[in-house]
Chain A
């Protein structure tokens, strides 16, 4: 079938502002949008630029706005989006070229929430693993799935308004550690998130949850962080 793809184009070395270019290509309904972009790049216009690597929704490279909503180009098929497709870069980050945005601010926010395991207590004496029950492990399973694709953060109206907001992705990462029974720095993370640019900036708009390609219930995770902050209970 023929699909019409309208793509946001911006060449930083030539253009003052972006514009849209429409391509008509043959595609199969089971093709990924990424396949179509690859085809356009390969056959129609080599200058089209976008990031991609794994091609099956696991590396987080190719988050972009497809028909007005953040998704991974490799995890959405033509049959899901129809034959009239608009592809635009993520909102709220600087556009470097075409569909490529500057990810640095996103990773900077991630780094603010102490995104690593902290436990300075001595290891078990036998040198084996720290024990954790299956229930304790299940407590934070959801948020271990994050692939840092930024689809959530760049769909959040609070983040659009103000890039200082740590954003849902950073809070998801914080959640993964706060509720890990083996981690000892939950308090420090909550203190960071209690600041003005932390969880207070989330107004439960749900765009993030809906955008997450890993189907993480982000708003719920943020809510759990807010309640941990309120009640001090980490179980």
Chain B
């Protein structure tokens, strides 16, 4: 084999999590970071609002409060040891980013500026607390750029535009990955002692989504096919405010700055659903509220969207009603200038895609598929654990949106994901390097590239009876409609059947592009395969869980059922079939109780 590379640690994915892992692993181990996109194209760059840490730069805040909010936000499904670990690490993680040069916005005293975000509260008063450290509305962009830049400074080895197709395991241990170089179509084997997956989520299984085209769940799908289970796949977050039809995200920061949601009657409806924090309730709550309004006929013109209003006069009116104040106690008011300064990118999106100017007009919004809570199960050090007893798979790590630690449980709080990627990315990198120090290379068996090659061959030689573009649209539609914000037995069962039917039809997809160089058609078709596999796990896990919790809300089981369902779902492929098992939730400090905002 011509293209074999050897590294101690190989990191798959160059978003926030992958870069953090690469940066830390490369300090002590020979490390490669492989990414199917140029690193700066990763979806971390799309994150807008902020990264949470109890810095307390404006007002009192504590990691314990952050922990409680996260546990509550997760609808008590998050593992509390991991959550506590993350919230304690948060302050140092954010300060470290600052030390790497990240240009956070500043307070008048020159400290990192923070803004309120859904679900983050002062535990004593129950009022929103400013916890999200931010760089305008492009915090993720700045994290991605800063980490990439630091990787360049530290001479991390990058394999840009190499798409990983397969995971190599030998003797029950990680041994590397197989990747295709997009520019040449050549397969490469990257032989490694430790492998870190940081490939991001799979929001592209849904029709209306804030997620990138690249969010096809490659990492999770690859490992699923290799027998690694996936955890909590039924939990997917629908962000309340996506641009109508397009799904492009309007950050919660807009509501953090005082924006309110209005229904078709021009009423602000959130106080009905969350009397204390109102528009800043956690995402699942707001998304459901919007859907309820729409279902009850109070969408705009009876249609399936509502308005988000950040016009200064509305904000000032409702801020006065809420009695919201500035840190110095004066009443909270904003001007057109505040809007332009604090959320410039959102203003830009609205102008470009909607022809709407948020300073003078309301924005039509609808919930949009946003974040993958489930994924590759890991412990708090990023080590992949493959069963209910948390048995570690040697040499395999995962971090970021593709992983399920689980700190987000059934519903992620805004800004906790950027925190997740830096904290767990770092620890996964450290652990991987540590493991590589002590482990030896496994000898590679003969034909490690065979499976990847035959997957490609199958797509090239398919009968072409089916068109990948159509299949993918059918998949997205059925998943959004039936395994979306509100779910029911009947809908999900039909969706599952449909996904299985699509999987069958997928065998008849054939790629027309016979070339090797940048064969994007082939790669897109391969990604569709991943989407189908992932969608099946999502639909099946969701159908199986007979309760409502966080992002998983069922019309037929509207209540949370801690008695039977306070447990994680594990779904794994055995003999070509999916099987479900369970894993207990780690509860340390906070016993489950009803969740009101």
A touching B, CB within 8 angstroms: yes
Q: Indicate which residue in B41, B104, B352, B467 contacts A42 across the interface (CB closer than 8 Å).
A: B467
CA gap between A54 and B209 in the complex, in Å: 11
* B95–A129 touching, CB < 8 Å: yes
Chain B contacts for A50, CB-based, 8 A: 520
1/0 contact string of A96-134 vs chain B (CB within 8 Å): 111010110001000100011111000100011111111
Q: Indicate which residue in B95, B212, B353, B511 contacts A53 across the interface (CB closer than 8 Å).
A: B212
Chain A contacts for B345, CB-based, 8 A: 58
CA gap between A52 and B216 in the complex, in Å: 13
Chain A contacts for B515, CB-based, 8 A: 11-14, 47, 97
Q: Which of B141-164 contact A (CB under 8 A)?
A: 141-142, 145-146, 149-150, 152-153
1/0 contact string of B93-110 vs chain A (CB within 8 Å): 001001111011111111
The verdict on A204 contacting chain B, using a C-beta distance below 8 Å, is no
Chain B contacts for A59, CB-based, 8 A: 37, 40-43, 45-46, 212
* B212–A13 touching, CB < 8 Å: no
Interface residues on A, range: 35 or more
* B516–A54 touching, CB < 8 Å: no
Number of A-B contacts (CB under 8 A): 157
* A133–B110 touching, CB < 8 Å: yes
- Secondary structure class of chain A's binding surface, majority of residues: loop
The verdict on A233 contacting chain B, using a C-beta distance below 8 Å, is no
Known: A53-B213, A128-B95, A134-B106. A117 touches B149 (CB 8 A): yes
* B45–A54 touching, CB < 8 Å: yes
Closest approach, in angstroms, between the C-beta of B596 and any C-beta of chain A? 34
Chain B CB within 10 Å, residue with most, of A54, A144, A183: A54
Q: Indicate which residue in B37, B98, B468 contacts A129 across the interface (CB closer than 8 Å).
A: B98
The verdict on B317 contacting chain A, using a C-beta distance below 8 Å, is no
Closest approach, in angstroms, between the C-beta of A114 and any C-beta of chain B? 8
CA gap between A77 and B470 in the complex, in Å: 23
The verdict on B214 contacting chain A, using a C-beta distance below 8 Å, is yes
The closest CB in chain B to the CB of A54 belongs to: B212
Q: Indicate which residue in B103, B112, B513 contacts A144 across the interface (CB closer than 8 Å).
A: B103
Chain B contacts for A180, CB-based, 8 A: 101, 103
The verdict on B386 contacting chain A, using a C-beta distance below 8 Å, is no
* B46–A54 touching, CB < 8 Å: yes
CA gap between A165 and B345 in the complex, in Å: 30
* A116–B108 touching, CB < 8 Å: no
1/0 contact string of A1-34 vs chain B (CB within 8 Å): 0000000000111100000000000000010000
Q: Indicate which residue in A53, A100, A130 contacts B518 across the interface (CB closer than 8 Å).
A: A100
* A131–B111 touching, CB < 8 Å: yes
Chain A contacts for B146, CB-based, 8 A: 117
Q: Indicate which residue in A12, A115, A144, A183 contacts B142 across the interface (CB closer than 8 Å).
A: A144
CA gap between A61 and B37 in the complex, in Å: 9
Chain A contacts for B112, CB-based, 8 A: 129
* B141–A58 touching, CB < 8 Å: yes
* A46–B110 touching, CB < 8 Å: no
CA gap between A12 and B141 in the complex, in Å: 34
The closest CB in chain B to the CB of A39 belongs to: B469
* A75–B516 touching, CB < 8 Å: no
The verdict on B65 contacting chain A, using a C-beta distance below 8 Å, is no
The verdict on B521 contacting chain A, using a C-beta distance below 8 Å, is yes
Closest approach, in angstroms, between the C-beta of A193 and any C-beta of chain B? 17
* A148–B40 touching, CB < 8 Å: yes
Known: A42-B469, A59-B37. A77 touches B518 (CB 8 A): no
The verdict on B336 contacting chain A, using a C-beta distance below 8 Å, is no
CA gap between A49 and B141 in the complex, in Å: 26
Chain B contacts for A58, CB-based, 8 A: 45-46, 141, 345
1/0 contact string of B108-149 vs chain A (CB within 8 Å): 111110000000000000000000000110100110011001
* A56–B101 touching, CB < 8 Å: no
The verdict on A55 contacting chain B, using a C-beta distance below 8 Å, is yes
Q: Which of B208-243 contact A (CB under 8 A)?
A: 212-214
Q: Indicate which residue in A53, A147, A176 contacts B37 across the interface (CB closer than 8 Å).
A: A53
* B517–A12 touching, CB < 8 Å: yes
The verdict on A160 contacting chain B, using a C-beta distance below 8 Å, is no
The verdict on A168 contacting chain B, using a C-beta distance below 8 Å, is no
Chain B contacts for A98, CB-based, 8 A: 518
The closest CB in chain A to the CB of B354 belongs to: A30
* B45–A132 touching, CB < 8 Å: no
Q: Which of B44-100 contact A (CB under 8 A)?
A: 45-46, 92, 95, 98-100
Q: Number of B residues contacting the other chain (C-beta, 8 Å)?
A: 60
Closest approach, in angstroms, between the C-beta of B144 and any C-beta of chain A? 9
Chain B contacts for A53, CB-based, 8 A: 37, 41, 43, 212-214
Closest approach, in angstroms, between the C-beta of A143 and any C-beta of chain B? 10
Q: Which of B321-359 contact A (CB under 8 A)?
A: 345, 348-349, 352-353
* B138–A145 touching, CB < 8 Å: yes
The verdict on B183 contacting chain A, using a C-beta distance below 8 Å, is yes
Q: Indicate which residue in B42, B43, B106, B145 contacts A133 across the interface (CB closer than 8 Å).
A: B106
The verdict on B463 contacting chain A, using a C-beta distance below 8 Å, is no
1/0 contact string of B1-45 vs chain A (CB within 8 Å): 000000000000000000000000000000000000110111101
The closest CB in chain B to the CB of A126 belongs to: B95
* B46–A131 touching, CB < 8 Å: no
Closest approach, in angstroms, between the C-beta of A54 and any C-beta of chain B? 4
* B511–A46 touching, CB < 8 Å: yes
The verdict on A215 contacting chain B, using a C-beta distance below 8 Å, is yes
Chain A contacts for B46, CB-based, 8 A: 54, 56, 58-59
Chain B contacts for A116, CB-based, 8 A: 101, 149-150, 152-153
Q: Indicate which residue in A45, A97, A103, A119 contacts B517 across the interface (CB closer than 8 Å).
A: A97
* A130–B213 touching, CB < 8 Å: no
CA gap between A42 and B520 in the complex, in Å: 11
The verdict on B512 contacting chain A, using a C-beta distance below 8 Å, is yes
* A137–B469 touching, CB < 8 Å: no
1/0 contact string of B486-520 vs chain A (CB within 8 Å): 00000000000000000000000001110111111
* A42–B468 touching, CB < 8 Å: yes
* B101–A182 touching, CB < 8 Å: yes
The verdict on B277 contacting chain A, using a C-beta distance below 8 Å, is no
The closest CB in chain B to the CB of A38 belongs to: B469
Closest approach, in angstroms, between the C-beta of B284 and any C-beta of chain A? 23
Chain A contacts for B135, CB-based, 8 A: 144
The verdict on A41 contacting chain B, using a C-beta distance below 8 Å, is yes
* B103–A140 touching, CB < 8 Å: yes
Known: A46-B511, A47-B521, A49-B518. A75 touches B352 (CB 8 A): yes
Q: Which of A34-87 contact B (CB under 8 A)?
A: 38-39, 41-43, 45-47, 49-50, 52-61, 75, 77
**What is B's interface to A at a CB cutoff of 8 Å?**
37-38, 40-43, 45-46, 92, 95, 98-101, 103-112, 135-136, 138, 141-142, 145-146, 149-150, 152-153, 183, 212-214, 246, 248, 345, 348-349, 352-353, 467-470, 511-513, 515-521
A and B contact pairs by CB, cutoff 8 A, 17 listed: A11-B515, A47-B512, A47-B513, A47-B515, A50-B520, A53-B37, A53-B43, A54-B41, A57-B349, A59-B41, A61-B37, A96-B183, A115-B149, A119-B101, A129-B99, A134-B107, A145-B141
Q: Which 7 A-B pairs have the closest CB atoms?
A: A117-B101, A42-B469, A131-B110, A116-B149, A47-B513, A116-B153, A46-B521
**Additional A-B contact list (7), CB under 8 Å, known A61-B37, A127-B92, A182-B101:** A47-B512, A47-B521, A53-B214, A57-B352, A96-B517, A144-B142, A147-B40
